[in-house]
Structure 1
Amino acid sequence: MDKPYLVVEWQDTETDAKGWLCVYNFVNHYAGGGTRMHPTVTREEVIRLAHTMAYKYTACASTTTGGCKGGIAYDYKAPDAKQVLRRYLIAMAPYIKAGVSIGGDLGVDYLDVLQILDELGIGLPQTKAMKADPRVQQGIINHERMVNMRYDGFLMYDMVTGYGVAYCADEAWKCKGGQPGARVVIQGFGCVGASAAKCLAQMGYRIVGIADANCLVVCPEGLDVEQLIATRRPKGEMDPGSFAANYQVLPNTRWLDVDCDILIPAALEDVIHRDNAHQVKASLIVEAANIPVTAEADQILRQRGIDVVVDFVANLGAIRFYDAVIFGLVEPTPQAAVADIENLCRQNTRRLFTEAARQGRYQRDVARELFTPTIKDTPDI
């Protein structure tokens, strides 16, 4: 399954925005994945992300959904970003109606996607079989109710991925025999980075550095994560006015300079590359972002003996939440959904590290074998 099933390109008629939809594989005539918006998005990136989604659904033990991804090359901070998203979704409507379920990702709020699809009369994307299944229809009602619920102060879709990342990091650190109170640096302070920081801090980890789009803030004694979240600006930007006097503020390009045990890239792709992989100080990388490490950097990390929890294991929280609620795999409560995600993330991480240790191999190589997607179905026609 080296080639994606479908790649579609879209050109906006009112701006210079360009977008793509890639379906890597269908399972039961259905595929799922997020849509990201950022000026740097490319066709190749969307294809790589769709490939990752296929692996991610396999890691979720999903028997219902294949992997897809949407991407829009445009500034998500632009005043007309939501209108661009709307036109993109209109263009992709025939594919959405054929079983392609695209949600939110970097720069795109999933609630905005759901609102637009409701306005277009599409609603939550589903196949004919799903529409005829009472359990799924009840799951959709439960999902609509749960997306507006909160857990630990976060909306559900704003925390499920980050908490899953934190559980993977904790389990991997335990597999490594790491000591309590390990130091963590997080690159990116959007929903995933912020919620991962909070969950890790609650488990006793010391968050010593956080980088956002504007700066890097460092404190060896540990940052006050609750305060940084409480004062966070839109689009995942910290408020410098809330920084404590003992915080050091540096350019955000220096996030790899901070001494730490665990490094969590939680924003853009390819941020660890051949020119900076030698600077990684952590002994463990947990990939909260999709494809944050280039192939060249991966070889360097492998040679240096740095352990990795790969993206399709670490950041599957949102798609597991969707699958589990829509298809009735868990009780429709925030507590049950989070417990389900924690169990899956810990189980997959433990399996990955145990098998890698047994074989004496790099975690990414083992993960690609453990979670290889094998089903390649067709659209819902």
Structure 2
Amino acid sequence: MSITWTDHVTGRQGFLVVDRLVRGVASGGLRMRAGCTLDEVIGLARGMTMKEALHYDPQGRYIPLGGAKGGIDCDPRDPAAYGVLVRFLRAVRPTVENVWTTGEDLGLTQDLVDRAAAEAGLVSSIQAVYPLLDDETAARRRLADAFAVEVDGIGLDELVGGCGVAESALAALDRAQLPYREARVAVQGLGTMGGATARFLSRAGLAVVAVADVKGTIANPDGLDVEALLAARDAYGTVDRAALRPSDAELPGDAWLSAEAEVLVPAAVSYAIDAANQEAVTARWIVEAANMPVLPEAEEALAARGVTVLPDVVVNSGTNAWWWWTLFGDIGPDAEQAFAYTRRAMRTLVDRTLTRAETDGTTPRAAAHALVADRLPVIAERFGWYR
């Protein structure tokens, strides 16, 4: 199902795509960025179907949903953006009430989505899943309590996705037997996902040597002070340059791509690495924290020269899974439990994906697709093909 909506006030367009239903429900975030297209949202919705299927555990309380996605073609910094968001949610309200569970994505925070959803007359942005819960009151309280948890002043919901991305990178390093202290990382984007990923990798012992935001790239071959940079961010992940040390360099925005690092983490926008600029990559691994940051022709060229791309459908699936692990009761509203469960699940998934890639002689993305192809019929047989 595909919906294209045009705002009668601003002329901005919004898109909603439901790729697949499981038990009548689909899951996927809502993004807002200038230039967002229907084709982009279609690809993201398909990716959500894959992320859900990859986390299927027949023994778990969380049963994966179908995949969906929403997108609005508007700069989130535009003064008119909030009104567009409210009107979009009001327009697709019946879908949110009955089919589509959504939340924050690129350009939007969960607080903003929640506020706009309430103004649009919705009970919650995830209310479509409530009929599937054994005890709705307890489940909603558990998720609310989890969102209230903070670690070092940062909400658990803003950290768990980066924990999953970092663990994915660490799993790859471990398979290659590369000590963490010998690995360097460059991160594009220091927002929710990129910032948390940088924090977890830095605390694991890796040197974060470059980070990029809208103002450019901040670099230091000896390693950046990640905690200081995170403390100096604004709401959009832009770092106040006054927090830089004398040894930190300010470089052009694309300098993160060619940084001397073993691991690259694109954690900002889609389509960041294309057939042309992939030639600048010297890293051994690209870990896709953002959705669809590496174009197919770029990935083909990277694979030909030995660069492994860990795909978004695996790497950044932890945030979505955490919501449902918590809501369905696989874990409680506790940070250490959430991090431990996320690390275990992501490491298992990455190892399974890389093993399949080695066995089949394919890329990790092709291996992830193969795992999904194996699991979707199993899920469909249990819950139905068309509902």
Give the TM-score, by structure 2 length: 0.92
State the 1:150 CA deviation: 1.0
Aligned to 1:314: 315
Q: Give the superposition deviation at 1:125.
A: 2.8
Deviation at 1:16, TM superposition (A): 2.9
Do the aligned residues in 2 keep the contact of 1:136 with 1:327 (CA within 8 Å)? no
Letter of the 1:16 partner, please give it.
G
Question: 1:328 — aligned with what?
Answer: 329
1:289 aligned counterpart, secondary structure = coil
Aligned partner (choices 39, 42, 49) of residue 47 of structure 1: 42
CA shift, 1:180, in A, is 2.3
Equivalent-residue separation in structure 2 for 1:103 and 1:70 (angstroms): 10
Match runs of 1:202-241 below 5 Å:
202-241=203-242
| 2:370 paired with 1:369 | yes
Q: Distance in 2 between matches of 1:338 and 1:10?
A: 38
Gaps of 5+ in 1: 1-5
3-state SS in 2 of match to 1:249:
strand
* CA RMSD of superposed structures (Å): 1.6
Query: Aligned to 2:49, what secondary structure does the other structure show?
Result: helix
| 1:21 equivalent in alignment to 2:22 | no
SS in 1 for 2:114: helix
Q: Secondary structure at the match of 1:67?
A: strand
Q: CA deviation at 1:377?
A: 5.0
CA deviation after TM superposition for structure 1 residue 378, in Å? 4.9
Corresponding position of 1:3 = none
Q: Aligned residue for 1:296?
A: 297
Moved more, 66-75 or 303-312: 303-312
The reply on whether 1:98 has 2:93 as its aligned counterpart is no
Matching residue of 1:137 = 137
Q: Distance in 1 between matches of 2:318 and 2:20?
A: 20
Question: Distance in 1 between the 2:114 and 2:236 partners?
Answer: 19
In 1, distance between residues paired with 2:271 and 2:245?
31
Q: Secondary structure at the match of 1:210?
A: strand
Give the corresponding residue for 1:87. 87
- Check the 8 A contact 2:149/2:333 in 1, yes or no: no
Does the CA-based 8 Å contact 2:102-2:125 persist in structure 1? no
Q: Structure 1: how far apart are the matches of 2:133 and 2:352?
A: 34
Is the 2:53–2:64 contact (alpha carbons within 8 Å) kept by the matching residues of 1?
Answer: no
Contact 1:268 1:292 survives alignment (8 Å): yes
Measured after TM superposition, the shift of residue 40 of structure 1 is: 1.8
Q: 1:266 to 1:172 in 2, by over 3 A?
A: same
Contact 2:257 2:281 in 1 (8 A): yes
User: Which 10-residue stretch deviates more, 129-138 or 345-354?
Assistant: 129-138
Cα distance, 1:133 vs. partner? 4.0
Aligned partner (choices 22, 26, 34) of residue 31 of structure 1: 26
Q: Is the 8 A contact 2:20 2:67 kept in 1?
A: yes
* In structure 2, C-alpha distance between the alignment counterparts of 1:369 and 1:96, rounded to whole Å: 30
CA separation of 1:267 and 1:257: change in aligned 2, threshold 3 A: same
Report the Cα distance in structure 2 between the residues aligned to 1:315 and 1:152, rounded to whole angstroms.
22
SS in 1 for 2:347: helix
CA displacement, residues 278-329 of structure 1 (integer Å, 9 cap, x when unaligned): 2111001100000111111111012112112110110012111111111111
- Give the Cα–Cα distance (whole angstroms) in 2 for the partners of residues 310 and 295 of structure 1: 11
- Find the aligned partners of 2:156 and 2:385 in 1 and give their Cα distance: 30
- Secondary structure at 1:25's aligned position in 2? coil
- CA 1:136 to 1:328, structure 2 compared with 1: closer, same or farther past 3 Å? farther
Instruction: Measure how far apart 1:331 and its partner are.
Output: 2.3
Tell me the equivalent position of 2:53: 58
Q: Is the 8 A contact 1:185 1:209 kept in 2?
A: yes
Over 3 Å counting, the alpha-carbon distance change for 1:288 and 1:132 in structure 2 is closer
Partner of 2:281 in structure 1?
Answer: 280
Aligned residue-pair number: 373
Write the deviation string for residues 91-148 of structure 1: whole angstroms up to 9, x where unpaired: 1101111221121100011122122323414224334x83374434311111122212
Q: Which amino acid in the other structure matches residue 102 of structure 1?
A: T
For the residues of structure 2 that align with 1:156 and 1:297, how far apart are their CA atoms? 34
- Where 1:244 maps in the other structure, the secondary structure is coil
When structure 1 is superposed on structure 2, of 238-247 and 144-153 the one drifting more is 144-153
**Secondary structure, aligned partner of 2:11:** coil
The CA distance in 1 between the partners of 2:318 and 2:29, in whole Å, is 12
Question: Cα 1:173–1:347, aligned 2, differ >3 Å: closer, same or farther?
Answer: same
Encode CA deviations 1:180-217: one digit per residue, 9 max, x unaligned.
Answer: 22000001111100010000000000000000111101
Taking structure 1 as the reference length, the TM-score comes to 0.94
Partner-residue secondary structure (3-state), 1:103: coil
Query: For residue 338 of structure 1, what is the aligned residue in structure 2?
Result: 339
Q: Pick closer, same or farther for the CA change 1:13–1:344 going to 2, 3 Å.
A: same
Tell me if structure 2 keeps the 8 A contact 1:30–1:64.
no
Tell me, in whole angstroms, the C-alpha distance in 2 between the residues paired with 1:123 and 1:186: 33
